[in-house]
C-alpha cells in the first residue's frame, strides 16, 4: 500500500510528523512517495514575494535530494490555485496507487478550506487522509485558558506555554530510515512567471545549512541576544526566520537546541529572550487558528474596522520606496526592498510610522511586506502589523506611538545602519543623521519629512479616541 506525504510549509526530512508517520505505516507493507504542489496564482493572491518563491523552490529541490537518498521520490505537481491542486492531487494518487495521504496542517483560511475539500473528496475515493499538528511547539489549540478559551494576551499564554513545555518535554521526530535504494531526484528548474526578480539569497540552502546557522547563532550570539537584538547595525539576530517561515526548521528544533545550550552553560537571559520569540510565533499561529477572520483582511478588534484611514496616495509610495525623509524608516524600507528581509525592531518602527503617522491602512502595509519578505509568514506578519496598528490581539495601546527619530537615536546611535542604507546622509554627524531636517541644509537628493511626527501622532490618537464616543 503506497503512502503519500504532501509537503507544503514543512520542507524538511527531520522532525516531520507526516513523513515519520507515513514511513511507519509503510514499514508494515508498502512504499512511501512524496509530492509538492506549485500554485503560483494562489501565491500571487497571497502576496508571496519572488524572494520567498525562489527560497521555497530551492529548498524543495534540496528536500527532493534528501528524500531521494532515502529511496523516497518527491514529485512536483503543477497546479495554479488551491482549487486546481485538489484534482491534480487526486490524479497523482490514482496514478501511483496511493491508499493513504499524510500532511501537516496549515492554518490560513484558504489552506484549511483546501484541506477540508481534499479530505471530503478522498473519503469518497476511499483514500485515507491523516493530518498532523506541526507548525507550533505545543499543538495548536492545546494552550487554552481555564475556561477552555483561546488566550488573547501574550503574557498568560506564554506562562501556560512554558508549563506545557516543562510538563511534556517535547521531542523530535527522527529522520526515517531508508525506504529503499537511493534514487535520482526530480528537480524544479523554472521559476513561475512573476516571481523571477528576487534579491540574492539571504541564507544558504538546505536543512544542514539551517542547522549550521542555528548552532552558530546559539554558540556565538544567543547569549547576547537580549542586549543586541534591537540594534540593526549589529549581527544580533538569528537569521533563522526564512527557515522557520517555510518549515525548513521547526519551532521544536529551535526550542530544544536553545534549551540544550542553556543546560551547557549558555547565557540564560539571552537564550530565554530568544525562546520567548518562539513563544510569540506559537501565540500568533494560535490566534490565526482560533480567529479565521484574520485571514480575510479583518481586524482582530472589530471596533477598529470603523477607523477612517487616509488615502494612501503619494505618501504610501514614499514609504514603500524609502523616501519619507525619516532616515531610520527609509533605511529599513530600503533594506527590505534590496534584501527581502528587515530587522524585527524596524518592522515595528516602519509599521507604526505607516499606520500612526501617515494613518494608512495596516492591510496595505501587511500586503507590501508579504510581497517583499523572504520570511513572509501569515500569522507572524498579520500579528505584527495588527500589533503596530493597535487593531490586534495584545496590541500596542493606540496612544503608544514609536517616534522613529527617538528609536533611531536609541538603537542606531552612531548612525551605522542609516549610513549603510541611506548613503545620501553618510557625511552627516552622529546627531544630525537621525533628523537631518533640523539645523542645517539637507543633503541633496534626500527629501524633507513628508509628515510632522508630533502632529500626526496627536491626530492618530484623536481618531482612535473617537471610536469610543
Distances (CA, A) of 60 to 14, 117, 394: 14, 24, 35
- Does the active-site annotation cover 424? no
- Does the active-site annotation cover 385? yes
- Does the active-site annotation cover 43? no
In angstroms, the CA 33 to CA 101 distance is: 10
Distances (CA, A) of 62 to 211, 423, 453, 467: 14, 37, 47, 51
- Does the active-site annotation cover 344? yes
- Does the active-site annotation cover 362? yes
Distances (CA, A) of 321 to 82, 115, 393, 406, 420: 32, 38, 29, 22, 16
**Active-site residue, selected from the candidate residues 274, 341, 385, 421:** 385
**Which three cell numbers, joined as nine digits, stand for 448?**
524633507
Do residues 118 and 91 touch, judged by C-beta distance below 8 A? no
In this structure, what are the phi and psi dihedrals at residue 144, rounded to the nearest 5 degrees? Answer: -130, 160
Q: How many residues appear in the chain? A: 469
Do residues 389 and 355 touch, judged by C-beta distance below 8 A? yes
Do residues 304 and 261 touch, judged by C-beta distance below 8 A? no
- Does the active-site annotation cover 280? yes
Neighbours of 388 (CB within 10 A): 26
Give Cα 302 distance to the centre of its chain.
24
Neighbours of 77 (CB within 10 A): 16
**Active-site residue, selected from the candidate residues 78, 227, 309, 430:** 309
End-to-end, the C-alpha distance of the chain in Å comes to: 64
Do residues 10 and 104 touch, judged by C-beta distance below 8 A? yes
**Active-site residue, selected from the candidate residues 65, 110, 227, 280:** 280
In angstroms, the CA 467 to CA 469 distance is: 6
Neighbours of 176 (CB within 10 A): 23
Q: Say which residues have a Cβ less than 8 Å from residue 219's Cβ, sequence separation at least 6.
A: 261
Which position has the grid cell 491626530?
459
**Active-site residue, selected from the candidate residues 267, 310, 337, 344:** 344
Which position has the grid cell 493597535?
390
In angstroms, the CA 427 to CA 415 distance is: 10
Active site residue ranges? 277, 280, 309, 344, 362, 385
Amino acid at each position: 500500500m503506497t503512502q503519500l506525504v504532501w509537503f507544503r510549509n514543512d520542507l524538511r526530512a527531520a522532525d516531520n510528523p507526516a513523513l515519520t508517520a507515513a514511513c511507519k505505516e509503510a514499514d508494515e507493507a508498502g512504499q512511501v512517495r512524496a509530492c509538492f504542489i506549485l500554485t503560483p496564482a494562489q501565491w500571487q493572491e497571497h502576496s508571496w514575494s519572488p524572494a520567498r518563491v525562489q527560497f521555497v523552490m530551492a529548498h524543495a529541490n534540496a528536500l527532493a535530494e534528501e528524500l531521494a537518498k532515502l529511496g523516497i521520490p518527491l514529485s512536483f505537481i503543477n497546479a495554479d490555485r488551491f482549487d486546481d491542486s485538489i484534482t491534480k492531487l487526486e490524479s497523482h494518487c490514482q496514478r501511483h496507487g496511493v491508499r493513504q495521504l499524510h500532511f501537516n496542517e496549515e492554518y490560513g483560511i484558504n489552506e484549511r478550506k483546501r484541506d477540508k475539500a481534499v479530505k471530503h473528496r478522498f473519503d469518497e475515493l476511499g483514500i485515507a487522509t491523516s493530518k498532523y499538528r506541526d507548525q507550533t511547539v505545543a499543538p495548536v489549540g492545546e494552550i487554552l485558558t481555564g475556561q477552555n478559551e483561546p488566550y488573547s494576551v501574550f503574557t498568560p499564554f506564554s506562562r501556560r506555554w512554558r508549563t506545557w513545555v516543562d510538563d511534556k518535554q517535547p521531542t523530535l521526530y527522527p529522520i526515517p530510515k531508508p525506504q529503499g535504494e537511493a534514487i535520482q531526484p526530480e528537480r524544479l528548474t523554472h521559476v513561475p512567471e512573476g516571481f523571477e526578480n528576487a534579491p540574492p539569497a539571504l541564507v544558504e540552502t538546505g536543512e544542514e545549512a539551517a542547522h549550521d546557522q542555528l548552532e552558530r547563532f546559539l554558540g556565538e550570539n544567543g547569549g547576547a541576544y537580549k542586549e543586541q537584538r534591537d540594534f540593526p547595525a549589529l549581527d544580533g539576530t538569528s537569521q533563522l526566520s526564512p527557515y522557520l517561515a517555510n518549515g525548513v526548521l521547526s519551532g521544536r528544533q529551535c526550542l530544544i537546541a536553545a534549551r540544550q545550550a542553556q543546560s551547557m552553560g549558555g547565557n540564560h537571559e539571552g537564550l530565554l529572550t530568544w525562546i520567548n520569540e518562539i513563544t510569540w510565533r506559537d501565540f500568533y499561529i494560535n490566534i490565526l487558528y482560533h480567529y479565521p477572520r484574520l485571514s480575510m483582511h479583518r481586524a482582530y478588534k472589530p471596533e477598529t474596522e470603523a477607523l477612517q484611514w487616509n488615502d494612501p496616495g503619494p505618501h504610501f509610495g514614499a514609504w514603500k520606496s524609502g523616501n519619507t525623509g525619516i532616515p531610520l524608516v527609509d533605511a529599513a524600507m530600503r533594506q527590505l526592498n534590496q534584501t527581502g528581509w528587515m530587522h524585527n525592531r524596524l518592522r515595528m518602527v516602519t509599521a507604526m510610522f505607516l499606520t500612526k503617522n501617515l494613518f494608512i491602512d495596516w492591510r496595505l502595509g501587511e500586503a507590501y511586506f508579504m510581497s517583499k519578505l523572504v520570511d513572509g509568514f501569515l500569522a507572524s506578519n498579520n500579528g505584527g502589523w495588527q500589533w503596530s496598528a493597535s487593531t490586534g490581539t495584545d496590541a500596542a495601546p493606540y496612544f503608544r506611538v514609536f517616534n522613529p527619530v527617538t528609536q533611531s537615536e536609541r538603537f542606531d546611535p552612531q548612525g551605522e545602519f542609516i549610513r549603510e542604507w541611506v548613503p545620501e546622509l553618510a557625511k552627516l554627524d552622529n546627531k544630525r543623521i537621525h533628523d537631518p531636517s533640523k539645523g542645517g541644509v539637507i543633503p541633496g537628493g534626500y527629501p524633507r519629512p513628508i509628515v510632522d511626527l508630533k502632529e500626526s501622532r496627536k491626530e492618530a490618537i484623536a481618531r482612535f479616541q473617537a471610536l469610543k464616543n
